[in-house]
Chains A and B, each alone.
Chain A
Amino acid sequence: MVNTGSGERSKPAVVVQDLVVVRRGREVLHGVDLTVPRGQLVGLLGPSGGGKSTLMRVVVGVQLVASGTVSVLGRPAGSADLRRRVGYVTQSPSVYRDLTIRANLDYFARVVGADPGAVDRVIDYVDLADHAHRRVERLSGGQQSRVSLAAALLGSPDVLVLDEPTVGLDPVLRRDLWALFQSLAEEGATVLVSSHVMDEATRCDRLLLLREGRLLADDTLPGLLAETAAPDAEQAFLTLIERAEEAEVR
């Protein structure tokens, strides 16, 4: 890999070392190590219940961790000065259902100190300009999650953490959103997107495969295909999961 930048820009955006998380008395992440390079679109893939959301909550700094270190942009995750630089979209839309799209975004824009044009810009990004004056509760589920995504884009964050942002969307919208994530990464943002749909792997610069609280892969798609001699991402992941299961049996 060629490093075009220097100094802070050449360091990874997220570094996780030996991360252990316990939720409701159950260990859900068992010593995870990974790095997310800057300015890349990284897919966090794996079956539901494997710890993807928990890992994302750790990166954002809202999850208590049992042990291990997590740094984002060179600082401990959740540091006060990261709050302006990290955007987070939860799995279910976290916006005010009783307010209009614009009222929601106006408020969140003030909270993150976004520039005045930011609200119109993010409404265009998620293609909701025709609905800006409708209340969130009157929108479809897919539209609601796009409002939530728009709110996270407001402060032009350096790191975007998106938990299953394309779930339940039609194919055209999914394609458009992945194109948006790619363009955000090209503009220099680091985008970490989780999904349990393996074919979305083809859209990512790098892939992380998380299963049952362990990281099975941290590679590019071509790298994974070469490693596993599989024809596509889904087969590659199945091969890796089978290998992990065999290792557990032994």
Chain B
Amino acid sequence: MNRRLTLATARRVLAQIRADPRTAALLLLVPLVLIGLLAWISDGTPMFDRIGGALLGIFPFVVMFIVTSVATLRERTSGTLERLLSTPLGKGDFLCGYALAFGSVAVIQALLASGFAIWVCGLDVAGPQWLLVLVALCSALVGTALGLFASAFARTEFQAVQFMPAFVLPQFLLCGLIVARDQLPQVLERLSDVLPLSYAVDAMSAVTRRTDPTGEVLGDVAVLLGFSVVALVLGALTLRRRTP
């Protein structure tokens, strides 16, 4: 790996996002609209305080998964990936460049979304607010890494977009948002233990409910980073310099 090449790749990916203002706006504004809607429909009930935090952990995962899987699929189909792999650029530079670029977008997204949730929609956060941004960043990294991996199994952008419900919706059902994880049937609870989104939601819930959640959250953060590393390694295996 080479820091200069990783940074150059991250800068190039960010330039592509900037060149497409509509996508950039969707990335940053859709979470705000959804949080606002949730706050509005739960007006007068405790629902927003119960699941608003969890949503802050789910958005970055879902959004980065879609964006990354489509972006890297484009690299594979347009021939730019083949060109890059015939140059001195390493697979690690490519993967980390993407993670760095989308990670920084995730930080901006998390700052906007949690600021909007807290100060405009009145979300109660018992723990330190900076932890919300940290968990959102880790959740985004898992989404990016899984998106990179998933793009290897799609041949068209149509298929790549369809991976979103396949990869994400089961996690959404099992992450504890709808039914608390410890109340799921045992098989499903075990299954939810090996899905990354569960840890993002656990961590976000801890930050919103506990006054001193740091220890628990850092544990979840470590698990999320572990998932990212595994997914990046799997993603690296799908980047072949030589193809049939």
On chain A, the residues within 8 Å of B83 by CB distance are: 88, 90, 94, 108, 151
Residue B12 contacts which of A23, A60, A80, A99 (CB distance < 8 angstroms)?
A: A99
Kindly state whether residue A63 has any CB partner on chain B within 8 Å: yes
Give 1 or 0 for each of B77-90: 1 = CB within 8 Å of chain A CB: 01110111111110
On chain B, the residues within 8 Å of A229 by CB distance are: none
Kindly state whether residue A110 has any CB partner on chain B within 8 Å: yes
Kindly state whether residue B243 has any CB partner on chain A within 8 Å: yes
Contact A94–B78 (Cβ < 8 Å): yes
On chain B, the residues within 8 Å of A24 by CB distance are: 244
Residue A61 contacts which of B9, B20, B86 (CB distance < 8 angstroms)?
A: B86
A64 to B243, CA, bound (A): 6
A90 to B81, CA, bound (A): 12
CB under 8 Å from chain A, chain B span 195-244 = 241-244
Residue A78 contacts which of B4, B12, B80, B242 (CB distance < 8 angstroms)?
A: B242
Give 1 or 0 for each of A154-179: 1 = CB within 8 Å of chain B CB: 01000000000000000000000000
Known contacts A92-B79, A95-B80; A113 and B19 CB within 8 A of each other: no
Contact A99–B87 (Cβ < 8 Å): no
On chain A, the residues within 8 Å of B243 by CB distance are: 62-64
On chain B, the residues within 8 Å of A60 by CB distance are: 86
A191 to B196, CA, bound (A): 50
Chain A residue total in the interface (Cβ 8 A): 33
Kindly state whether residue B5 has any CB partner on chain A within 8 Å: yes
Contact A99–B19 (Cβ < 8 Å): yes
Contact B15–A103 (Cβ < 8 Å): yes
Residue B5 contacts which of A64, A98, A111, A155 (CB distance < 8 angstroms)?
A: A111
Kindly state whether residue A241 has any CB partner on chain B within 8 Å: no
Kindly state whether residue A9 has any CB partner on chain B within 8 Å: no
Kindly state whether residue B16 has any CB partner on chain A within 8 Å: yes
Contact B15–A62 (Cβ < 8 Å): no
A83 to B242, CA, bound (A): 13
Known contacts A103-B15, A107-B8; A90 and B79 CB within 8 A of each other: yes
Contact A113–B78 (Cβ < 8 Å): no
A100 to chain B, nearest CB (A): 8
Known contacts A96-B12, A107-B12; A23 and B82 CB within 8 A of each other: no
On chain A, the residues within 8 Å of B87 by CB distance are: 83-84, 108, 111-112, 155
Residue B8 contacts which of A61, A92, A99, A110 (CB distance < 8 angstroms)?
A: A110
A103 to B9, CA, bound (A): 12
On chain A, the residues within 8 Å of B16 by CB distance are: 96, 98-99
B158 to chain A, nearest CB (A): 18
A60 to B80, CA, bound (A): 14
Kindly state whether residue A86 has any CB partner on chain B within 8 Å: yes
Contact A61–B241 (Cβ < 8 Å): yes
CB-based nearest B residue for A109: B8
Mind listing 17 A-B residue pairs with CB under 8 Å? A22-B244, A24-B244, A62-B86, A62-B241, A63-B242, A64-B242, A64-B243, A78-B242, A83-B86, A83-B88, A88-B86, A90-B83, A93-B79, A99-B19, A103-B12, A111-B84, A111-B89
Residues of B within 8 A of A (CB): 4-5, 8-9, 11-12, 15-16, 19-20, 78-80, 82-89, 241-244
Known: A78-B242, A107-B8, A110-B5. 19 other contacts (CB 8 A): A61-B86, A62-B242, A64-B243, A83-B88, A84-B88, A90-B79, A90-B83, A92-B78, A92-B79, A94-B78, A95-B80, A96-B16, A96-B78, A96-B80, A98-B19, A99-B12, A99-B16, A103-B12, A135-B19
